[in-house]
Structure 1
Amino acid sequence: MARKLKEAELTTRNARTKLPAQAKPYWRRVDAEIHIGYRKGKRSGVWVVRWAIGNGYRQETVGNADDVTSVGTLTHDQAVRRGVEIVEQARKDEAAAAAGPIETVESAVRSYIEMRDARDSRRRGRTVKSDAHTRLTRHVLSHKIAAVKLHNLTPADVLAWQGGLTSLKETTQVRLWSDLRAALLAKDCKVKLPKRDDGDRDEYVETAREGQILTDAQVFAIVAKALEYDRDFGRLVSVLAATGARLSQVVRLKVSDFQPDISRLTVPTSRKGSQRNKLPSINVVLAPTVRDMLIEITKGRGPADPLLERNRAGNGRPLTRGAWKTASEMTKPWAAVLEAAGMKDSGIVPYALRHSSIVRWLRGTTPLDAAKQHDTSLSMIERHYGKFVRSSADDLAARMAISFGPATDGSNVHQLRTA
């Protein structure tokens, strides 16, 4: 290390032809710890790189020099760049090994699956597999990305994996990436993907939302048929429609969250996204019909009891009452309600109640108000409900328009007075 490096001229093909062949490489400094080397053979040479480790060096082959042909060979500058990459990768490997067992995408995903399974099992009171368990096992653990070490994972690896998911529904692809990203972040592995051209994606999302935007009459029909099908299910659907909240928020409601004297329901905010500067709850003013429905089911119950319950029984156990827990519990009754309401083949999902509520707010208030009331961001409103934001803005602008002459269409527009 202390010896002075005798540097050789290696930068050009002509300079290297003048060097005599020898077994040991000729060296040239890249930086204080990295040297690029050239081992001269009888016809052509090979690039090597070495770097300081302790009191010595570690050496690796870089590739063939472009002494005879340019095809599949490396110039001096290319060899330097590739040599530095080799050194950086080796240092990353060494640091990862020193930190303990080397984590891979597979080990990160398995840890995440274990956490999700445990969480869902606690919520249901029995051992279950989470929906993330099935998705990640089928689409990540079976893919070659699973073998990639976390410290080597690149955006290109993730994009290659995503490229194999194109046959899946867009929503499934989004959930898969959300699950995988959460698994990686839990291991402090951050992969920043390049921004996508979201033109097609936004078109898909807007079209999907359009098919799930219900008229008030459709919402009334679904609620009415849900109450006819089962009172417990009808109350759940009624609260979803009245609040525009996610199911994960509604199932966490307690009796104490209902304030009948002021017709208000305090809905807990979602656990999604960053919790920094996030309000713990959202106040929703209820219509008299929904208020009266909740008054009926909260009489004589404790403040910590679940607001919405359903009958539970199974495995020979007696009938009990318990809170709604997962979306899968809605699948069968929802299908029956749609059929009864004459919407069997409509493809309408329960989340349509949330979409419809957001659009209802957009038509009567500002995008910011709609975002706050529905526990989401303004950027999400603009991205997924842009058409309705523009429509709402046009309506508001029309109301604010002024005329400089008498109206010709019979509308109630006042002419500006002159002084």
Structure 2
Amino acid sequence: MARTVKNPKTDSRSARTKLPERREPYWTVVSAGCALGYRRGANGGTWLTRFRDETGKQHHGSLGAADDGRDPDGVTVFSFAQAQERARDFFGRKARELAGHTEPDEGPYAVAAALADYFAERERKGSKGVRADRYAADARILPPLGTVEVDRLTTKAIRAWLLSVEKAPKLLRTKQGSAVRKTADIDINDPDAGRARKATANRLLTVLKAALNFAFHEGKVASDEPWRKVKPYREADAPVIAFLSSSECVRLVYACQGSFRDLVRGALVTGCRYGELTRMHVADFNPDAGMITVRLSKSGKSRHVALADEGRQIFNSLTVGRKGRDLIFKRNDGRAWGASHQQRPLEEAAKAARLDPAPTFHVLRHTYASSLAMKGVSMRVIADQLGHADTRVTERHYARLAPSYVADVVRAALPSIGIAEMLAAGGDVTRMKLE
């Protein structure tokens, strides 16, 4: 049940007896556009409802008698809290009716249906990341919440679910078709592991709230109040950016096998995502301008990526003499790279290159951006190269790597104590004499 909204004028029998009789009800706003009314008459009061649609038109309804003179039974006589619960049902029915969802056999609208509708809408719009979000929802949201009616979701229930996600074991990659999902326990004494679990919980909360908000705006649920009150964990999503050094990049590239080496080189010189690289055609490379066009990015917009001399050489070698409609990057068997095809060869190459921990493919994108930041390239330029809508995400991840006035002043002014020289010379602190 959603939290009962308080109104000192009408939430108790004694308070209502002090109200003068009048035709206009005493209204309590339950949520945006939804209100519960109390009209006092000579023989007691009645509960009413008011629902305002998107055009501003008001729709009214009557719930039943207030418990002014009789004890509430929840059927014909209602307390203030019971009237609110019944009013929420009215708001939900009216919203669905106005949205055209009037089939009597639809049944309760559950969280699983809200997620399905939300993902279907994202797919219709061509949104990226739907596959990963759907996969995460299937694993973490649907088992505990899928059958719960959205109208009956409470803030307490959502917070309890969020806590359960934080405390749950980490899910590991499992072979396709496996009946049992592998998990790994979390070290409760490791602060980084705890932060990572909270970050995962926050990402899942974002997906859940987005689906529920979509249902609310589609008129399938009366109020968004229960999940609007649930806040993500603070300081859980502080970016921990991993990137490779130049020597590590060389070792990784040489450890890659076959056509996968080309894909890794392409990522390091462009900062493009795996999906962006695997969709690139020969015609997307302009050798005269030294530019790569990313026609479809995560944001749904195209962008142009400038190539340095090394990048030009790589793309020239990969595209020379080929047709414009050909994919630039293909597997050894000539087929296109598919979703998650990069993970296994990257893990094998990282092991051969002695990189610990093994980088994900996205670390190659971080490596590209970090290299630019450490050379003093502006956040705006880096954001444009990466395809970020603005500099907020770019600054959050890479601003700390950029040369700064503060760092330069500290390095120039802080005197040398002599510790490094002493240790380099094999000095023994225990034999040093005080002067």
Q: Please indicate the TM-score interval, normalised by the length of the shorter structure.
A: 0.5 to 0.7
1:218-242 per-position Cα deviation (integer Å, ceiling 9, x unaligned): 122212222xx22x10010001111
- Distance in 2, matches of 1:330 and 1:159, equals 36
| Counterpart for residue 96 of structure 1 | 96
Q: Which amino acid aligns with 1:263?
A: G
Counterparts in 2 of 1:301 and 1:94: CA distance versus 1, 3 Å? same
Contact 2:243 2:370 in 1 (8 A): yes
Q: Which amino acid aligns with 1:95?
A: A
| Counterpart for residue 314 of structure 2 | 293
| Counterpart for residue 387 of structure 2 | 375
What's the CA shift for 1:160? 4.2
| Counterpart for residue 31 of structure 2 | none
Contact 2:115 2:208 in 1 (8 A): yes
Superposition pairs of residues 191-340 of structure 1, within 5 angstroms: 193=228, 196=231, 199-202=234-237, 205-206=238-239, 208-209=240-241, 212-226=242-256, 229-230=257-258, 232-268=259-295, 270-272=297-299, 280-288=302-310, 290-312=311-333, 321-326=334-339, 328-340=340-352
Contact 2:283 2:324 in 1 (8 A): yes
| Counterpart for residue 420 of structure 2 | none
Counterparts in 2 of 1:12 and 1:371: CA distance versus 1, 3 Å? same
| Counterpart for residue 163 of structure 2 | 163
| Counterpart for residue 49 of structure 1 | 47
1:250-304 per-position Cα deviation (integer Å, ceiling 9, x unaligned): 12211011122343322335233xx5xx5x212221333x433332332332111
- Distance in 1, matches of 2:272 and 2:228, equals 30
Percent sequence identity is: 20
Counterparts in 2 of 1:297 and 1:47: CA distance versus 1, 3 Å? same
Report the secondary structure of 1:49's partner residue.
strand
What's the CA shift for 1:51? 5.1
- Distance in 2, matches of 1:38 and 1:188, equals 35
What's the CA shift for 1:366? 1.9
Report the secondary structure of 1:333's partner residue.
helix
Contact 2:111 2:145 in 1 (8 A): no
1:150-190 per-position Cα deviation (integer Å, ceiling 9, x unaligned): x6667666444333211354564455345445545665648
Contact 1:145 1:157 in 2 (8 A): no
What's the CA shift for 1:195? 8.3
- Distance in 2, matches of 1:158 and 1:309, equals 44
Q: Which amino acid aligns with 2:254?
A: A
Q: Which amino acid aligns with 1:140?
A: I
Counterparts in 2 of 1:176 and 1:66: CA distance versus 1, 3 Å? same
1:294-350 per-position Cα deviation (integer Å, ceiling 9, x unaligned): 3233233211111111134xxxxxxxx122232x2112111111111111x414222
Report the secondary structure of 1:306's partner residue.
coil
Report the secondary structure of 1:143's partner residue.
helix
- Distance in 1, matches of 2:164 and 2:414, equals 59
160-169 vs 252-261, which moves further: 160-169
Contact 1:49 1:83 in 2 (8 A): yes
Superposition pairs of residues 337-416 of structure 1, within 5 angstroms: 337-343=349-355, 345-363=356-374, 364-376=376-388, 377-389=390-402, 392=404, 394=406
Q: Which amino acid aligns with 2:37?
A: I
Report the secondary structure of 1:361's partner residue.
helix
Report the secondary structure of 1:370's partner residue.
helix
| Counterpart for residue 415 of structure 1 | none
What's the CA shift for 1:368? 2.0
What's the CA shift for 1:215? 1.4
Which structure has more relative contact order (CA 8 Å, sep 6+)? It is 2
C-alpha RMSD of the superposition: 4.7
The TM-score normalised by the length of structure 2 is 0.62
| Counterpart for residue 144 of structure 1 | 145
The TM-score normalised by the length of structure 1 is 0.64
Report the secondary structure of 1:346's partner residue.
coil
| Counterpart for residue 37 of structure 2 | 34
- Distance in 2, matches of 1:116 and 1:311, equals 33
Greater C-alpha radius of gyration: 1
Q: Which amino acid aligns with 2:362?
A: Y
- Distance in 2, matches of 1:268 and 1:163, equals 40
- Distance in 2, matches of 1:356 and 1:335, equals 17
